[in-house]
Structure 1
Amino acid sequence: MEKIKAIIESLIFASDTPLAPEKIRVVFPEVEKKEIKEIIDQLVLEYNERDGGIFLQEVAGGFQFRTNPELGQWIKKLKSSKPHSLSPQAMETLAIVAYKQPIVKSEIESIRGVDVGGPLKSLLDKKLVRIVGRKDVPGKPIIYGTTRRFLEVFNLKDLLDLPNLRELKELNQQQDIEDQGIEGQEITEQEILEEGIVNHEVTEQKIAEQEIAEIEIDIEDIPDL
């Protein structure tokens, strides 16, 4: 049991994204999912009781090692680049998408009272928001929703774990959010399929690009979270 526990711990540590018990079971098909979850719960408890620099957290449907937020000021000193958070406009747009999804651009603008082309483009570039399909109404506007990366960045287990807007803004100020897209680079069909877009044609991304206003947001590339 201790050997399996050590292996599970190393798998979670080595994974770039939150690791779910289902994926761990691929390595240990002979071990039940319930047993894997019990081992993970033991690890969570052990790291929490240590009160050290890292802890194990459930986020975005999986488990991931995170640094202790209380030690953030020292970690920031180690980084050469200045942390970047979302602009207030992008943050408000993201909050609307998160709470009202699935939602189209015109509905977001109706709530905010201003054009949201720039903030939407920024959120798409950072892969915090994704295209989930088209609404079955005249004009077939594009529908937007949040991504798994959104859950990871804001340390949320799932959408039911959403904080209120004030708490979301506070979390935003604590995060370094990197541009995940490259300006002018076309998205591949495989990436579109992985993002879950209803229409699988690459031209869907081009249509989305035309719909979203081309507003430059000056945010530098920073290390992955």
Structure 2
Amino acid sequence: MTDDATRASSASAVIEGEPEARAENTPIARSLEAILMVADEPQSLVSLATAVGAPVPAVRQTIEALVADFDGETGGPRRGFELREVGGGWRFYVREELDPVVRDFVLTQNPTKLSQAALETLAVIAYKQPITRSSIAQIRAVNVDSVVRTLLGRGLITESFTDSETGAINYETTELLLIHLGINSLDELPLISPLLSDGSGGFDDGI
């Protein structure tokens, strides 16, 4: 049986509710898990359905089954992560009660000093917040996924809100950054324009 045929058979079984094809234990479910594991932004049901080549109703039912499975509602253990719907899309998150454990791990596993790339990305967020990952990447002209994850892990930035139309997460700096910089508010950040070669462009005038 081909991969497409397998997916179609699994989708049919999910929709029809065949007992031998539990939604959280099908090829569709495994594919969705793999995609969501590497996704940095919430994924809509339509985009997920397109990615795995399955009908949207089948994907919706599979997602619901995965949520129940990760929550321990199907007889298995409650996982340390959860599948959460945010801004019209789905994404893996660490469970809130485990945030301190993950934060401590990240802080102990990573050196105290930030890399140049992290400092540049942090500066972009500080001056342009709230700002999406794609906008940061556009300004820096490089992929910033890993750097953003590092800054999140350090507690220097946080997810501010999710755009209801695009599903893009907007980031902003935290109080911890102010503490490290020794300032009371972002208004005390120095102007960028005087530091540029022509003394005119930059973050200050919205460019």
User: Do they superpose with TM above 0.5?
Assistant: no
Structure of higher RCO (CA pairs closer than 8 Å, 6+ residues apart): 1
Structure 2 length as normaliser, TM-score?
0.43
Q: Which has the higher helix share?
A: 2
